[in-house]
Amino acid sequence: MTKQLTYIDLFAGCGGLSLGLHQAGWKGLFAIEKSPDAFKTLEYNLINQKNHFEWPKWLPQNHHDINDVLSKYSQNLGKLKGKVTMIAGGPPCQGFSMAGKRNEYDLRNDLINSYIDFVKAVEPKIIFFENVKGFTMKFKKNKEKGIAYSSIVTQKLDDAGYFVKGQLVNFGEYGVPQKRTRFILVGIKKDLKKASQEKVETFFSQLEANKFDFLKTKGLSPETNLQDAISDLFKKNGLKPTPDSPNFESGIYGKEKNNYQKLMREGIDNKIPNSHRFPKHSALILKRFEDILAVTHNRRNLDLSKEVRERFNIKKHTVIPLNGLDKSPTITTLPDDYIHYEEPRILTVREYARIQSFPDWYIFQGKYTTGGKRRTQEVPRYTQIGNAIPPLFSEQAGSILKQLV
């Protein structure tokens, strides 16, 4: 009988990492996520639909702040010491994000220390950590001037008793239709019989070597592009009232055009994709989008040039007309940053989910979007997806992580 591999998902978001680990044969114990919206999505899909977690009685099945769990349930966590195979997840570190203003003093960066405290409390056999690309860049103002924060964290985990290895990984090389580079760190407890620095360091080469066979089993290619991902979701396919949004319209499915779409639509028998609600663009915006697509057909997946901005009087921070024949750029939490490659509109939530490799049966909870001051308190559907780890990548990582224990 194969020993059950268990893990705890910290900063779990809407469940992208957990979904991939579920598909790779791991069993979740519980997940820590602060946002009520994101937790509702994870709960609906992975707890209620897939029965993926063996949730402990001592922890309310709800959204939690990691620091509250560390302080309120320290005794319960202590009883798990040495009994959990893996702690996974990555703290939200907006202070290191390349998409926004990088700020090493952003308070959210302190959540890394909470992650490390959690590791020390539970002492899992292995750790899997994901963070933004900027996490590896050097800061000039911190105490360890010129040292990348990733190096500081690597040292802290080494001090906590783990052999660790961190590396930048582009998820787009693993079949995800998006160029998305993230910092991945894996570790193994030094006092385990099989533990060695070499074993940890081979994780990345094994991940790379395995991707072709993995994708082949699913009929996929590493080169899957944006058109491959969403060309069955055109607005021109037809419209129906949006089931969960009165006064909005959703698209209906077109024909499956490739194996990626077939995989995403597995088990779906309804005509209307979940969360495929179209925004209500004004006639003025529609015309502007049409004109922008017309003048940028040779310059896609890049922010608008100064010339185009001046021509259309656009002052917005980022506007990227997409290229259907290439992978999408890294999608952020703001859908207004992108224009669909063929239709004059922004992307729908479901198209966002496809780009992140969430299957269509994965149902998103909460508001579609929000604005103003509410942005800091609410995590609507677009934001949940933009923050997630693509399940197609985390499934591959989960398969290789099994070999560490």
**Catalytic residue annotation:** 93
Nearest to 122 by CA among 187, 75, 165, 154: 75
Alpha-carbon torsion angle 333, 335, 340, 341, nearest 10: -40
Q: How far is CA 355 from CA 66, 103, 224, 330, 351, in A?
A: 29, 28, 10, 9, 6
Reduced to 3 states (helix: H, G, I; strand: E, B; else coil), residue 207 is helix
Per-residue DSSP letter, 178: B
Is the four-CA dihedral 336, 333, 266, 241 of positive or negative sign? negative
Please, are residues 380 and 360 in contact by the beta-carbon 8 Å criterion? no
Cα–Cα distance between 134 and 137 in angstroms, integer? 5
Task: State both tokens at 281.
Answer: 């663009």
**How far is 301 from 341, CA to CA, in rounded Å?**
9
CA distance 242 to 240: 6
C-beta atoms surrounding 311 within 10 Å: 13
CA separation for the pair 167, 124 (Å, rounded) = 21
Question: Which residue from 279, 252, 282, 278 is spatially nearest to 265, judged by alpha carbons?
Answer: 252
Residue given tokens 């499956």 in the structure block:
256
Q: Are 230 and 354 in contact (CB under 8 A)?
A: yes
| Contact between residue 335 and residue 369 where contact means Cβ atoms under 8 Å apart | yes
E-assigned strand segments in 118-177: 126-132, 162-170
